[in-house]
Chains A and B, each alone.
Chain A
Amino acid sequence: AQTVTQSQPEMSVQEAETVTLSCTYDTSESDYYLFWYKQPPSRQMILVIRQEAYKQQNATENRFSVNFQKAAKSFSLKISDSQLGDAAMYFCAYRSSLLGTDKLIFGTGTRLQVFP
């Protein structure tokens, strides 16, 4: 079974600085998808960024980028120029590409605080 591990329960960053959130996963599959989701306090979860395992190039979405290390099964999220609105729980998630399954497997999350 696949697992996702986030070893940082909490992280903090100063506004305008850069922070990196860590995620490792375990799978025997060669093709899959990885995601970072953001869950602001009392608000719904939204997708931040996605990475297809077959792509070597790291995904980037504006101030958000990932460092995908397939061999190491590592998938970290870098937030540049942090803003107060980035404060939230961040969840790393895995999805198999196999037909017949369409579930997301989440880590336990990292709470990010942003200080002015």
Chain B
Amino acid sequence: DTGVSQNPRHKITKRGQNVTFRCDPISEHNRLYWYRQTLGQGPEFLTYFQNEAQLEKSRLLSDRFSAERPKGSFSTLEIQRTEQGDSAMYLCASSLAQTRGHNEQFFGPGTRLTVL
């Protein structure tokens, strides 16, 4: 399978615990994005990387959230001291950045987080 993969697909945790999600992009893609989607809403941008550099972060990405892409391949998104409001689907996408024009973002299946 050459698509974007995310693990785990589902995560249930108790309030106050830390969780980490992983995203593996399409192999030749140099950009990787994280979005959050709550029930009844469209995805909201969190952050994106070009290779290992984090180029843009949303104000939604509070101090409890951290994302890394250490070798420019897979990425992890960690949420510390989870709150019930963090319950959402976390989507990862990847793209091949081009010097001109639009680079299509391909989405993974998401990780559904439930905070009890």
Contacts and interface: CB of A to CB of B under 8 A. Distances in A.
A binds B: yes
Interface of A: 4, 6, 33, 43-47, 50, 52, 91, 93, 95, 100-109
B102 A95 contact: yes
A68 to B, nearest CB: 15
Contacts of A6: 42
Size bracket of the B interface: 20 to 34
Nearest to A103: B45
What is the interface of chain B mostly: helix, strand, loop, or mixed?
loop
Contact of B107 (A33, A44, A108): A44
Nearest to B40: A108
Contact of B56 (A46, A100, A108): A100
A108 B58 CA distance: 18
B93 to A, nearest CB: 8
Contacts of A91: 42-43
B55 A45 contact: no
A101 B56 contact: yes
13 contacts: A33-B102, A44-B3, A45-B91, A50-B104, A95-B102, A102-B33, A102-B56, A102-B97, A102-B103, A104-B33, A104-B105, A106-B44, A107-B42
A44 B42 contact: no
A50 B107 contact: no
B51 to A, nearest CB: 13
